[in-house]
Amino acid sequence: MTNIMKSMITALAIFGLALPAAAQEQPISLVGDVMLEKVETNETGESKTTLVEPGVIVPGDRLIFGTDYANSGSEAVENFVVTNPLPKPVRLASDADPELTVSVDGGKNWGTLGALTVTSEAGEARAAAHADVTHVRWTLAVVKPGEKGRVEYPAIIR
């Protein structure tokens, strides 16, 4: 594996972690990971998809960025926000949940992708595209004591 690929995987792993500021004062723990989606076809032509640790990754590869959360406190936490920046080497996959809350401006404004616009270099507004997404966000209405869960999004190597 080349040093560039090692650096890219390290960057993906680091930037794939969700560490929202609100989490610092809450009894919620967050653990992020990145998995490579691998599709294998057997001798009968059936395809099987598995998630594996990323080794060598190339443009077009599909990754799943995930964040596991757990409430170790004795009280429920309401409206807990998990925000993940997308690493620059990836774009949000086109089959990502259309109801996913995203930002296309570095986290300043939020909404579903279909509701957001970006300004072109020529100064014209256009509909935001998957490649424009800079962050994804989930708001967990209530995380009860002892509750665990996972949020994730698919991305494609640019």
82-139: per-residue pLDDT in tens?
A: 999 999 999 999 999 999 999 999 999 999 999 999 998 899 999 999 999 999 999 9
- Measured from the Cβ of residue 34, the count of other Cβ atoms closer than 10 Å reads 23
Task: Say how far apart CA 73 and CA 27 lie, in whole Å.
Answer: 5
| CA–CA distance, 93 with 100 (Å, rounded to integer) | 12
Q: Give the three-class secondary structure for 27.
A: coil
Average pLDDT of the segment spanning 11-37: 66
| Letter string b/e over residues 67-104, b meaning 16 or more CB atoms within 10 A of that residue's CB | bebbbeeeeebeebebbbbbbebbbbbeebeeeebbbb
pTM above the 0.85 mark? Answer: no
pLDDT bracket for residue 9 (50, 70, 90): very low
**pLDDT above 80 (res 158):** yes
Residue 78 has pLDDT above 80, yes or no: yes
